[in-house]
Amino acid sequence: MTVIRTLLSGDYPRSRALTAVLLVILVGLAFAPFVFPGTRSLDVAAKVCVFILLVASYDLLLGYTGIVSFAHTMFFGIGAYGIAIAASSLGPTWGSLALGSLAALACSALLALLIGVLSLRVKTIFFAMITLAVAAFFAILASQLSGFTGGEDGLTYTLPQVLLPGSKLLAAPLFGVDIDGRIVSYYLVFFAAAALFLVLLRVVNSPFGRVLQAIRENDFRAEAIGYRSVVYRSVANCVAALAASAAGILYALWLRYAGPATTLSFDIMVDILLMVVIGGMGTMYGAVVGATLFVIAQTYLQDLMKLASHAAAGIPLLPALVHPDRWLLWLGILFILSVYRFPAGIVGKLRSRDKRHHFVTR
């Protein structure tokens, strides 16, 4: 019990249903190569891991500190491009990957500090607008400096031998699955994402995290008690940026590709917003639920909607609305309803259902 308590930093799911959901996700991801064999499903599982980390780091900003940043994909992209540029220009060695990661992390931290110090003094709206402009500028920069970043096409590169799908680690298959480089990289992504998620959980449950929540609730009072809100916000911005870059690094290791569409585009920013709000802002576990739900919906909801679209053929406009490409429409509506009706998202909903139970166990 104490191990679990330490791992979760004393912040339990506090709901039976939520615990069950989280366990299913954890087990599903931990044994993904064996439970869901096949390239597509393993891709989905790895993407879920990366996005859980990315969304959790965004939740630190949005849910815990109460600041809206549109530059989160920029830090995600810096991480991915760090690996991509290092691996393609210095060769596929562990040393170059480490160098690329460190450079990316340092770059992210510096940039986040700069943005934070320059614009976190002002209001939420102003910060959101500034970050939107900076992120757009950065995306343009990445596609313009094509000699360095590969432009719109992005960069494809190779990694150390162990991480490549061609390398076999065990002669005989384990539980009917070949243990190759693909599986090694999956577990690298999985364990790194899980560890960093627990670190973020630790951060929000530390005294530092409490101050962030105090600032979110009322920055004037927090300041009056003696906490410099600019300093705390800037540090939170840096921590979130570092975690986002780490997610980018993992994503680049998994995809062996980095390009503007997969890391820097505004669409990804929108996806992150949807995940964090639908999952539940200010809960951390919301990131797990939101990212899993979203990535699965992104991959499989379209198949379902294809069926609905065929079924609705003949009715005016309805087929266009349930067309497989319109899945984002329905998630958008769910997003708006979430902000109005249940601001703590799915996690908040599950927790409030278990309120009575929660009081008894306390």
Partner 1 sequence: MSLAKDALPVARLDKIPLALIPVIAAAALPLIPSLPTWVTLTVAGLAMGMMIFIMASGLTLVFGLMDVMNFAHGAFITIGAFVATSVLLPLAGWTQADSLWRNLAALLLAILASMAVTGALGVAFERVIIKPVYGQHLKQILITMGGLIVAEQLIIAIWGPDMIALPKPATLRGSFIYGDIAIEKYRVLAVLVGLAVFAAMFLVLNRTRVGLLIRAGVEDSEMVESLGYRIRRVFIGVFAAGSALAGLGGVMWALYQETVTSAMGMQVMILIFIVIIIGGLGSVGGCFIGSLLVGLVANYVGFLAPKVALGSNILLMVLILLWRPQGLYPVAKR
- Chain residues in the site for partner 1 (CB under 8 A): 62, 66, 68, 123-126, 128-130, 132-134, 136-137, 140-141, 144, 266, 270, 273-274, 277, 317, 320-321, 323, 325-326, 328-329, 331-333, 335-336, 339-340, 343
| CB closer to partner 1, 92 vs 319 | 319
Residue in the block written with tokens 């278990």: 354
305: left (phi over 0), alpha (psi -120 to 50) or beta: alpha
Contacts of 278 (CB under 8 A, 6+ apart): 290, 293, 294, 331, 334, 335, 338, 345, 346
Residue 78 Cβ vs partner 1, minimum distance, rounded to whole Å:
17
Residue 53, Cβ density class (10 Å: 0-12 exposed, 13-18 middle, ≥19 buried):
buried
What gap in Å lies between CA 195 and CA 209, rounded to an integer? 18
Q: How far is CA 319 from the centre of its chain?
A: 32
| CB closer to partner 1, 317 vs 360 | 317
| CB closer to partner 1, 53 vs 269 | 269
| CB closer to partner 1, 8 vs 270 | 270
For residue 322, the SS3 value is coil
Residue 17 Cβ vs partner 1, minimum distance, rounded to whole Å:
25
Q: Sign of dihedral through CA atoms 236, 239, 245, 246?
A: negative
What gap in Å lies between CA 127 and CA 278, rounded to an integer? 23
What gap in Å lies between CA 266 and CA 350, rounded to an integer? 30
What gap in Å lies between CA 46 and CA 63, rounded to an integer? 24
Residue 9 Cβ vs partner 1, minimum distance, rounded to whole Å:
25
Residue 315 Cβ vs partner 1, minimum distance, rounded to whole Å:
14
Contacts of 9 (CB under 8 A, 6+ apart): 198, 201, 202, 205, 206
User: Which one, of 166, 288, 180, 192, lies nearest residue 249 by Cα?
Assistant: 192
| CB closer to partner 1, 124 vs 352 | 124
**What count of residues does the chain have?**
362
What gap in Å lies between CA 95 and CA 86, rounded to an integer? 9
| CB closer to partner 1, 94 vs 137 | 137
For residue 350, the SS3 value is helix
Residue 274 Cβ vs partner 1, minimum distance, rounded to whole Å:
8
What residues form DSSP beta bridges with 168?
180
Residue 136 Cβ vs partner 1, minimum distance, rounded to whole Å:
4
Residue 137 Cβ vs partner 1, minimum distance, rounded to whole Å:
5
Residue 72 Cβ vs partner 1, minimum distance, rounded to whole Å:
13
| CB closer to partner 1, 134 vs 244 | 134
Identify the helix (H) or strand (E) that includes residue 142: helix 124-144
| CB closer to partner 1, 125 vs 313 | 125
